Amino acid sequence: MIVRTFAAAFKSYGKGAAGTLRTEQDISMKVVLAVCLLIAVFMWLFPAIPVSFLGALIVLVFGFFFATVSSRMVGLIGSSNNPVSGMAIATLLISTIALKASGSTGSEGMVGAIAIGSVICIIAAIAGDTSQRPQDRLPPRRDAEEAAIRRADRRVRLRRRHRCDSLPAQRRMGLWHR
């Protein structure tokens, strides 16, 4: 599935979407790859995140895959099944092997591996949290529309339950609004 997704993304690499709504168009793959490269360079050069360029690339790759896994598991099963610790351990194991192979040993390698693992933990936790209750993150206009629909539905149910036939009785009960 992952290979098919990447193949489809790169197949449409140079094609533009003509005749579709702006909200239904995907971001260009060139833009996505450029932003990913900028994020990797930022992590590499930003002193608060002590990782090498290899570490920044590891964060991007593992962050992409582990955010997807975390979102899917939380969306299917619930937040009690967010596998952040397992993803952190897998990241630590693979990143320490990659850092050791690249010659980053000693305290520099240890700090880099811990930094990579902590960023992956944050990515997985945020991805799971975002996937837990997406209906809470709707745009405000849509929330207002849905709230109005719920209020109208509630009024209809209350009218049926109380069988208020007269308009003054409905107004007293708060079931009728102009």
Is the per-residue pLDDT at 30 higher than 60?
A: yes
Q: pLDDT band at 145, cuts 50/70/90?
A: low
87 and 124 in contact (C-beta within 8 Å)? yes
pLDDT by residue (tens digit) across 87-115? 889 999 999 999 899 888 888 889 989 99
How far apart CA 21 and CA 18 sit, in angstroms, is: 9
Q: Which residue has the higher pLDDT, 94 or 142?
A: 94
Instruction: Write down the pLDDT at residue 49.
Output: 80
Is the per-residue pLDDT at 16 higher than 60?
A: no
The alpha carbon of 32 is separated from its chain's Cα centroid by a whole number of angstroms, namely: 15
pTM to 2 decimal places: 0.60
48 and 119 in contact (C-beta within 8 Å)? no
* CA-based torsion, 143, 146, 147, 148: positive or negative: positive
Q: Read off the DSSP letter of residue 81.
A: G
pLDDT by residue (tens digit) across 35-86? 988 988 888 888 788 888 888 889 998 888 888 888 888 877 776 777 888 8
